[in-house]
């Protein structure tokens, strides 16, 4: 009998503690905090995939036909403006210059003789004019011959770096054939595409501050020097809805080369941005959700679109309004359509705790 009473008492105690524990767990589960989105002016840094180009990158082509007689440079070599790079066999063109020189001298002698005869009225003035015209024609032919001869020497039009040399010494070169390309890598351009809303925000907040950009290289390192947005294309791409920006970066160490890729980091200003703490969200199948609390205290999951990201903060582009109440702490415990108890924390107080630096 005593044993039965002891067992009954023990069961009663266990049941009591079990119920108490469940009650405490239930109370703990419903101990949530909530807040609302906050609207303010701020900015965030966004990365854009970019194509890096030399400020000048040109093709050097042969202007005359002939055999490649000399190559004075090597691939990757740095050259100065005016430096001789190639010579195409000039013998024929040198002969043409000599022939043109002789024709000029002959025309000069003929003009002198005709002028003496004209002074004695032996020949008509028209013949004197013809002799003068013949001399000018000979001089023009000589100038053209010298020009063709100069085309046999290919010189660097500016300081730069020689690229690949597709032709070897002795190759027969046709007029217009590619000899190499020359890149001026003293400074570099980075081209990247910006969406229409970001373009509008950039233009409306245009200042020297938001023109400054950084460049992240393919190895994840950031280029030492800052760049600046210089130009924006004249029209949007109708297919993508983007517009191309061009930034210029210094390249004193010649680290950047034509054709590289990187990521431009640009500060995007935002007016009246709707922001929420990142910890108030959860991710499911690459989509971002929050729990919105309705007037009856029921939490309902809702997908939101993210327009930007700051430390601990999301900028919401759609899915929420300023007055909405969202679960702040305990997002992982809430289930859809749960009726919850919560304490509300003002958005500005939450913001101060997250230490967001807004502008």
Strands 38-61 and 261-277, by their bridges, are: antiparallel
The pLDDT of residue 207? 59
Contacts (Cβ under 8 Å, ≥6 apart) of 269: 41, 42, 43, 201, 202, 204, 205, 210, 359
Strands 32-35 and 342-344, by their bridges, are: parallel
Mean pLDDT of the 15-31 span? 52
Query: CA 348: distance to chain centroid?
Result: 36
Mean pLDDT of the 121-129 span? 80
Span 36-77, pLDDT tens digits: 999 888 777 889 999 999 999 999 999 888 889 899 999 999
CATH number of 31-42+272-354: 2.40.420.20
What is the chain's alpha carbon radius of gyration, rounded to the nearest angstrom? 40
Alpha-carbon gap, residue 10 to 245, rounded angstroms: 77
CB 51 within 8 A of CB 278: no
Q: How far is CA 20 from CA 8, 14, 95, in A?
A: 18, 10, 112
Q: Residue 4: pLDDT above 70?
A: no
| Count of Cβ atoms closer than 10 Å to residue 64 Cβ | 21
Domain locations in the chain? 31-42+272-354, 46-55+186-270, 91-151
In this structure, of 204-218, 228-242, 338-352, the range with the lowest mean pLDDT score is 204-218
Alpha-carbon gap, residue 110 to 278, rounded angstroms: 94
Q: How far is CA 258 from CA 77, 176, 247, in A?
A: 15, 23, 14
46-55+186-270 belongs to CATH 3.40.50.970: no
The pLDDT of residue 15? 52
| Count of Cβ atoms closer than 10 Å to residue 214 Cβ | 20
Strands 338-339 and 287-293, by their bridges, are: unpaired
What mean pLDDT value characterizes the chain? 84
Contacts (Cβ under 8 Å, ≥6 apart) of 294: 300
Q: Which two tokens stand for residue 41?
A: 């002016």
91-151 belongs to CATH 1.10.287.470: yes
Q: Which two tokens stand for residue 153?
A: 């020497």
The pLDDT of residue 41? 82
Span 206-220, pLDDT tens digits: 654 568 899 999 999
Strands 298-310 and 242-250, by their bridges, are: unpaired
Alpha-carbon gap, residue 131 to 106, rounded angstroms: 11
């Amino acid at each position: 009998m005593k044993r039965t009473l002891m067992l009954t008492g023990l069961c009663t105690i266990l049941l009591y503690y079990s119920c108490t524990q469940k009650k405490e767990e239930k109370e703990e589960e419903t101990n949530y905090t909530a807040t609302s989105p906050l609207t303010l002016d701020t900015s965030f840094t966004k990365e854009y995939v970019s194509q890096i180009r030399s400020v000048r990158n040109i093709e050097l082509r042969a202007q005359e036909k002939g055999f490649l007689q000399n190559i004075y440079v090597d691939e990757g070599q740095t050259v100065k403006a005016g430096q001789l790079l190639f010579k195409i066999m000039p013998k024929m063109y040198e002969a043409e210059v000599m022939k043109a020189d002789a024709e000029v001298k002959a025309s000069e002698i003929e003009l002198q003789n005709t002028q003496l005869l004209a002074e004695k009225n032996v020949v008509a003035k028209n013949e004197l004019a013809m002799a003068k015209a013949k001399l000018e024609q000979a001089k023009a032919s000589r100038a053209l011959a010298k020009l063709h001869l100069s085309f046999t020497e290919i010189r660097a039009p500016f300081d730069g770096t020689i690229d690949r040399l597709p032709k070897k010494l002795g190759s027969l070169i046709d007029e217009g054939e590619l000899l190499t390309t020359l890149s001026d890598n003293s400074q570099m351009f980075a081209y990247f595409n910006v969406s229409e809303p970001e373009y509008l925000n950039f233009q409306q907040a245009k200042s020297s501050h938001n023109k400054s950009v950084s460049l992240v290289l393919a190895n994840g390192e950031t280029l030492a020097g800052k760049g600046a947005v210089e130009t924006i294309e004249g029209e949007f791409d109708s297919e993508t809805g983007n517009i191309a920006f061009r930034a210029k970066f210094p390249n004193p160490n010649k680290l950047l080369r034509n054709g590289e890729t990187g990521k431009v980091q640009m500060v995007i200003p935002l007016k009246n941005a709707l922001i929420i703490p990142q910890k108030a969200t959860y991710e499911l199948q690459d989509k971002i959700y929050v729990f919105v609390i309705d007037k009856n205290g029921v939490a309902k999951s809702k997908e939101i679109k993210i327009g930007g990201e700051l430390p601990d903060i999301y900028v919401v582009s759609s899915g929420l309004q300023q007055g909405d109440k969202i679960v702040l702490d305990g997002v992982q415990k809430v289930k859809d359509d749960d009726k919850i108890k919560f304490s509300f924390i003002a958005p500005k107080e939450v913001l101060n705790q997250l230490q967001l630096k807004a502008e």
